[in-house]
Amino acid sequence: MIEFNGVSKNFGAARALDQFSLTVREGLVYGLIGPNGAGKTTAMSILATLQLPDAGTVTVDGRDVVREAGEVRGRIGYMPDFFGVYDDLRAAEYLEFFAAAYHIPAGRRSRLAAGLLELVDLPDKAGVYVDSLSRGMKQRLALARCLVHDPKVLILDEPASGLDPRARAEMKEIIRHLKQMDKTVLISSHILPELAEICDEVAIMDQGKLIACGTVAEITAFSRGARQMRIEVLDRVKELADYLATRPGVSDSHADGPTVQFIFSGEQAEQAELLQVIITAGWPVTEFGEVKRNLEEAFMAVTGGEVENDGGN
């Protein structure tokens, strides 16, 4: 449903996205996690057709965000990390205003607004000025706003930031509800534990790059010691990537130019054995080693050192 393919974006000398690729299947709640400046907002705003990529392609439901921006906009609801609310509008009017912007016929707007307020658990706030709602309520109203045109995909940039624990729990409940409605949800956060319970899968990013992706359980295993490895060989790179994918402890094995990159969760002795096996099988290895890329730091930053929830619920 969402596809980033080799996307790069620079702001002057700052590289916000660096060959970023990600696939999100339909119906998933997908977490995009990374420390400050990792590139989450940039990725989301490109997806929301608000910024152009310098390189690479992004599609939503098969539509290109640059060439078919209008088609994409009809399919997405975007909740930015900072959103404007209109002070002198009441909650229902606010939603009706956005419904009008999406060309929903006037006769349907008031019922639509009432339904959405119900969905985000604000049914008794229809006549209340937006300005006087609590932060958590404003956040839920902003989410309702993203739903007026019944999009397939929701892009939520740090929807839980600044909320107290109760408001966070309410937000999570709504996101679960969106999943039941078969929406595909991309949601960002600084830290993994915040999203661990609600996400089907997560991607960890740092310095504009995808570091790892998978289920919360897989990512947790990775954060507890799996290593990103790199082997350079003179030929048969793709064959080596396929071969490695069959070896124990190896995941995400893929060819990248003259190298194969993969994640390895074995011990040091098993790593040595793996190299031995590759050489014995006849591959001319010129380099073999771990890719550091500040991986540990990134994981420490996003997991808070430890992930308590194993995602198996």
Ligand X SMILES: Nc1ncnc2c1ncn2[C@@H]1O[C@H](COP(=O)(O)OP(=O)(O)OP(=O)(O)O)[C@@H](O)[C@H]1O
Interface residues with ligand X (CB under 6 A)? 11, 14, 16, 34, 36-42, 190
> Is the Cβ of residue 11 or residue 86 nearer to ligand X in the bound state?
11
In the chain, DSSP assigns E strands to 2-11, 14-24, 29-33, 55-60, 63-64, 76-79, 153-156, 184-189, 201-206, 209-214, 227-233, 250-256, 259-264, 285-290
DSSP state of 308: -
> Is the Cβ of residue 119 or residue 191 nearer to ligand X in the bound state?
191
Residue pair 184/2 in contact by the 8 Å Cβ criterion:
yes
**CA–CA separation, 293 and 207 (whole Å):** 9
> Is the Cβ of residue 22 or residue 38 nearer to ligand X in the bound state?
38
Shortest distance (Å) from residue 296 CB to ligand X:
19
> Is the Cβ of residue 5 or residue 10 nearer to ligand X in the bound state?
10
Shortest distance (Å) from residue 58 CB to ligand X:
14
Chain centroid to Cα 109, Å, comes to 31
Per-residue CA distances from 90 to 16, 120, 124 (Å) = 37, 15, 12
Shortest distance (Å) from residue 185 CB to ligand X:
17
> Is the Cβ of residue 120 or residue 163 nearer to ligand X in the bound state?
163
> Is the Cβ of residue 40 or residue 138 nearer to ligand X in the bound state?
40
Shortest distance (Å) from residue 41 CB to ligand X:
3
Shortest distance (Å) from residue 269 CB to ligand X:
38
**CA–CA separation, 145 and 184 (whole Å):** 16
Letter for the amino acid at 182? D
Per-residue CA distances from 46 to 5, 101, 147, 201, 227 (Å) = 12, 21, 19, 21, 30
Shortest distance (Å) from residue 226 CB to ligand X:
23
**CA–CA separation, 43 and 40 (whole Å):** 5
